Amino acid sequence: MNRDIIAQDAAMAFADHHLHIPDRFVRADEVPAAGEVVVVGGDDESSELPVVDMARLLDPEHREEEIAWLGSACRSWGFFQLINHGVDQAVIQKMKENTVQFFELPLEDKNTVAVRPGGIEGFGHHFRSSAGKLDWAENLIVQTQPFQQRNLDFWPSNPPTFRDSIDKYTTEMSNLAMRLLRFMASDLGVEQEPLLAAFRGKRQSTALHHYPPCRHPEKVIGIAPHSDGFGLTLLLQVDDTPGLQVSNGGRWHPVRPLPVPGAFVINIGESLEVLTNGLYTSVFHRVVVDAERDRVTVAVFQDACIDGVLKPLPELGEPRYHAIGKSEYFKGHTTEVVGQGERFIDTLKK
């Protein structure tokens, strides 16, 4: 996985999408653009990502039905969109604005928080290199929880309200994750507390993504196919540019940004798949680039483990995964020495 600073030539290619695409970004296999992905059934609703309604989860009259719907989304898709989530719209709006403002800054300003050799936090990346190819994106990653582990050296001070926006927004996301986990516990038929405890006080990491347009979107990729390593991912699409695609039934399904203000895309990470003993699924997804429009997103990753170990909740019966220490797990997940189409947790399966 690449952890590089964004150099001037990449920034120039990103800034002017009529320029030549540097070879380091050109994939050998054609990447179908969002509009060209073949989806079984076309407009068939079954090929659309499920939409979960938090208002229904909170309403005693609809709760049971909506919990079952949430559960089926987590089991069969590992992904859903969440509406009526109750997160403060002003906090979301400020986070969106500041994120866009940050990416609009000149490269040298963004590089004041550049990644450092061997590090993960900061501005830069091009991470999921396959066959030495780089992703068509620039990213800012900061660890946002636990509070004591925040390293403000990587938190941009420009725009001036950015640190405050990140703080407020990610606090909202921790709370939202906890709210969702209560309903997931219900669906799984386990006590809430052990599931919540697996997430409480654990790492929260925040990734801001900017996918510039590219005149040949089929030659590059925004994020190569991967599954997320943490427990739960909460994704905010800042604009309505499509790009995220989810693998299901051997096909890529485009996620349509909903015309609802501030819907979130939520997905199950590999750690939660293990915790649920495989009941919930962590699936491959990728981002394709648009020919004309920028795309900006904010991903918040909530980590989970039980006393420093990743293993299924004991309540869920005979474990189907070998337990693994969290640091060993991370090493495995980030080096990804696994076969094509395989996830690191597949190597833990019994």
Ligand X SMILES: O=C(O)CCC(=O)C(=O)O
Positions touching ligand X (CB under 6 A) are 207, 209, 223, 228, 235, 243-244, 285, 287, 297, 299
Binding partner selected for residue 326 from ligand X, Fe ion, none, CB under the kind-specific 5 to 8 Å limit: none
Q: How far apart are CA 285 and CA 299, in angstroms?
A: 13
CB of 290 to Fe ion, least distance (A): 18
CB of 302 to ligand X, least distance (A): 13
Binding partner selected for residue 207 from ligand X, Fe ion, none, CB under the kind-specific 5 to 8 Å limit: ligand X
Q: Based on CB atoms, which residue is closest to ligand X, 243 or 312?
A: 243
* HSE, side-chain direction, 13 A CA sphere, residue 105: 22
Please state, as a whole number, how many other Cβ atoms lie within 10 Å of the Cβ of residue 196: 16
- Binding residues for Fe ion, rule: CB under 5 A, are 228
CB 309 within 8 A of CB 326: yes
DSSP three-state, residue 166:
helix
Q: What is the CA radius of gyration of the chain?
A: 19
Binding partner selected for residue 219 from ligand X, Fe ion, none, CB under the kind-specific 5 to 8 Å limit: none
CB of 61 to ligand X, least distance (A): 34
Q: How far apart are CA 191 and CA 29, in angstroms?
A: 46
Q: Based on CB atoms, which residue is closest to Fe ion, 228 or 303?
A: 228
Binding partner selected for residue 187 from ligand X, Fe ion, none, CB under the kind-specific 5 to 8 Å limit: none
Binding partner selected for residue 235 from Fe ion, ligand X, none, CB under the kind-specific 5 to 8 Å limit: ligand X
DSSP three-state, residue 144:
strand
CB of 13 to ligand X, least distance (A): 19
Bridge partner list, 145: 204
Pairing of strands 51-53, 79-83: parallel
Q: Based on CB atoms, which residue is closest to Fe ion, 262 or 269?
A: 269
CB of 68 to ligand X, least distance (A): 27
Q: Based on CB atoms, which residue is closest to ligand X, 77 or 313?
A: 77
Classify residue 14 by its DSSP letter.
H
CB of 59 to ligand X, least distance (A): 30
Q: Which of 58, 51, 301 lies closest to 174, judged by CA?
A: 301
Q: Based on CB atoms, which residue is closest to ligand X, 83 or 197?
A: 83
Binding partner selected for residue 133 from ligand X, Fe ion, none, CB under the kind-specific 5 to 8 Å limit: none
Q: Which of 312, 236, 303 lies closest to 269, judged by CA?
A: 303
Q: Based on CB atoms, which residue is closest to ligand X, 81 or 297?
A: 297
Q: Based on CB atoms, which residue is closest to ligand X, 34 or 305?
A: 34
